[in-house]
Amino acid sequence: MHPSWNPATSKIRILEYPRDVIKYMKQNAAPKQLLNLMQCSKRFCHKVFPYLPVRYLTTRDAKEVKWRMQKLDNSWIRGTNCDEIPNGLWITGKFILVDIPNLLPQILPKVAVSELKVLALWHQEIFCDDLVKLLPHGNVKSIHLNFSSVKYGNGDVVTLDKMLEILTNIPLISYWHELPPFSVEAAEDLSKVDVSPKLFEISVAAHKEEFDFGLYKMFIELNRQILFDTLFVDDDLEDDFIEKLEHLNAIELGNDLNEYAPNIFRYLGMPEETRAALEALHAEYRKLHNTE
CA atoms within 13 A on the CB side of 163: 25
Domain residue spans in the chain? 1-50, 54-288
pLDDT for position 33 = 61
Close Cβ partners of 207 (under 8 Å, ≥ 6 residues apart): 177, 232, 233, 234
Cβ(97)–Cβ(122) under 8 Å?
yes
Whether the CB-CB separation of 229 and 267 falls below 8 Å is answered with no
Average pLDDT of the segment spanning 219-234: 96
Instruction: Decide if pLDDT at 173 tops 90.
Output: yes
pLDDT of residue 120: 97
3-class SS of residue 201:
strand
Please provide residue 119's backbone torsions phi and psi, each rounded to the nearest 5 degrees: -125, 120
Phi, psi of 150 (to 5 degrees): -100, 130
- Given a cut of 90, whether residue 38 has pLDDT beyond it is no
Considering the domain delimited by 54-288, tell me its CATH architecture.
Alpha-Beta Horseshoe (3.80)
What element of type H or E holds 118?
strand 118-122
pLDDT at 12 over 50: no
pLDDT at 50 over 90: no
Whole-angstrom Cα distance, residue 247 to residue 249? 5
Q: Which whole number is the average pLDDT over 201-218?
A: 96
- 160-166, long-range: CB < 8 A, 24+ apart: 160/186, 161/185, 161/186, 161/193, 161/194, 164/193, 164/194, 164/195, 164/196, 164/199, 165/194, 166/128, 166/131, 166/132, 166/135
Instruction: Supply the pLDDT for residue 1.
Output: 42
Q: What is the pLDDT of residue 62?
A: 78
**The pLDDT of residue 4:** 45
Q: Kindly tell me if the per-residue pLDDT of 147 is higher than 50.
A: yes
Mean per-residue pLDDT for 176-184? 95
Predicted structure pTM score: 0.84
Indicate the pLDDT class of residue 49, thresholds 50, 70 and 90: low
Residue-wise pLDDT tens digits, 85-98: 999 999 999 999 99
116-135 tens-digit pLDDT: 999 999 999 899 999 998 98
**Residue 152: phi, psi to the nearest 5?**
-80, 170
The mean predicted confidence, pLDDT, of the chain is 87
CB 153 within 8 A of CB 127: yes
CA dist 61 and 98 (Å) reads: 8
- Identify the band that residue 204 occupies on the pLDDT scale cut at 50, 70 and 90: very high
Give the number of C-alpha atoms closer than 13 A to the C-alpha of residue 149, restricted to the C-beta side.
15
State yes or no: pLDDT of 29 exceeds 90. Answer: no
